Amino acid sequence: MDNRYNRHIILKEIGQSGQDKLLNAKVLMVGAGGLGCPILQYLASAGVGTIGVMDDDVVELSNLQRQILFGKSSLGKNKAEAAKRRLLDLNDSITIHAYPEKLTYQNAIELFNQYDIIVDGTDNFETRYLINDTCIITNKPLVFGAIYKFQGQVSVFNYKNGPSYRCAFPNKPKGDAVPNCSEIGVLGVLPGIIGTIQANEVLKIILSIGDVLSGKLYCYDALSNKATLLSLKRSEDTIRSILLIKDDFEKNDLETSCQFNVNEISIVDVLGNKNVQIIDIREHHEQPKVSKTHVLEIPLSELDRHIDKLDKTKQIAIFCNSGIRSKTAVSKLMRHNILNCFSIREGASQINNYLNDSIKPVINE
Amino acid sequence: MQITIKYFGLLTEITNCEEETINFNGSVIAELLDQLFIKYTGLKMKDFQVAQNTELVGIDAKVTGDDIVLLPPFSGG
């Protein structure tokens, strides 16, 4: 064997046996952009034996500010193909598979099954949730990284029964709620820092050394150099809800990908309807009380224990102060298979305004 | 009680600060958020999770007085 990997092999934590583990490992990199480039560079240099690179995008001049595998000769070329060419120049003793296509519900499971570890370097929530859910279904560890301007997040999800991305962020943000790098800009070195931390986690998983960043979300701020390590727990309900859709997974498409749609309703539609049970999901001490109508008080933290108090023959309409708790409560009830439930758009004080203005003196009693 | 709140990512563009200490008299995280939604219009429209004492918690968790972090998801790559 040549001495390409000598600096690994002389580390007692790695040695020849560790280097052999790297050679036998199969890692899939989804996204060959700002995060993907440094990750791929270090995995290929380290001698990870089989690397898949997936990206359907082409290299543009504005990518070269941070996507370090590419140069002028790559402009206009597919990123997966261009990355493969550069990586084979770096290390031609490994196997690189380029997938110049988009990850979809139709191709994800079969592709992930061919790899040991999946790395997320994508730039949109649709694909991130698809990657996470596919990792749950195929039982693959997911090395996650994401950036925003000067800040980054890294975690290892779905590792040895650890939490998944959905355990941290259960619901996919609405459409363009969080802009991406092409819209708002990013400090070029930031994906280098975050991607390199991801590459480090991949190597630690393969080598079984150190503490893998599972159950923790590492948050980094490049401007202040502050790092915050947040801990998160696995939500069995969340994991189960993804495993339940396994058989229908390939029928999904990215635009309508699986998430609970919380039904919203206005108090105007609830007033006067005798077939509705109204729930105040706030804490008992919270003001203002809504008293002119019959309201059942169940604080959110007690909802799971008081499911039997709900009248399942009626529609259930839930309110709080801002609409946040009521939506959470509806999601909870839907998981209990109570589907005829709604979040009331208005908060308690607005509801009181409606009740005071209402001509009907007593509603729903 | 006095509570220190840290804002990450795009939330600082709404709060115009990365950290502040506020006075809070309720009992659960959701009440704290209601208070912040009144102070910062636009915050309610954002997706974020809440960490208390460096642990991600649900909005029905009791407020302990430990530091709070409001953490949005990032999509960039």
User: Mapping DSSP to helix (H, G, I), strand (E, B) and coil, where does residue A262 land?
Assistant: coil
What does the block give as tokens for A205?
Answer: 């998983």
pLDDT tens-place string over residues A185-213: 999 999 999 999 999 999 999 999 999 99
> How many beta-carbon pairs below 8 A join chains A and B?
129
Percent of chain A surpassing pLDDT 90? 71
Beta strands in A127-225 (DSSP E): 142-148, 151-157, 216-221
* A290, burial (CB in 10 Å: exposed 0-12, middle 13-18, buried 19+): buried
pLDDT of amino acid A138: 97
Distance from CA of B50 to the nearest CA of A (A): 10
What CA dihedral angle connects A271, A277, A283 and A287, to 10 degrees? 20
Residue found under tokens 């503490």: A211
- Chain B residues with CB under 8 Å of A125 CB are 73, 75
pLDDT of amino acid B9: 95
Q: How many beta carbons lie within 10 A of that of residue A350, not counting itself?
A: 15
DSSP state of A150: T
pLDDT tens-place string over residues B14-32: 999 999 999 999 999 999 9
The amino acid at residue A336 is: H
pLDDT tens-place string over residues A73-127: 999 999 999 999 999 999 999 999 999 999 999 999 999 999 999 999 999 999 9
Q: Residue B72: is the preceding peptide bond cis (ω within 30°)?
A: no
User: Would you call A305 an interface residue with chain B, using a CB distance cutoff of 8 Å?
Assistant: no
End-to-end Cα separation, chain B, in angstroms: 39
User: Would you call B73 an interface residue with chain A, using a CB distance cutoff of 8 Å?
Assistant: yes
User: Would you call B43 an interface residue with chain A, using a CB distance cutoff of 8 Å?
Assistant: no
pLDDT tens-place string over residues A309-340: 999 899 999 999 988 899 889 988 887 888 88
Give the model's confidence band at A365: pLDDT under 50 very low, under 70 low, under 90 confident, else very high.
Answer: very low
Q: Do the chains contact at B55 and A231, CB–CB below 8 Å?
A: yes
What does the block give as tokens for A254?
Answer: 């990215």
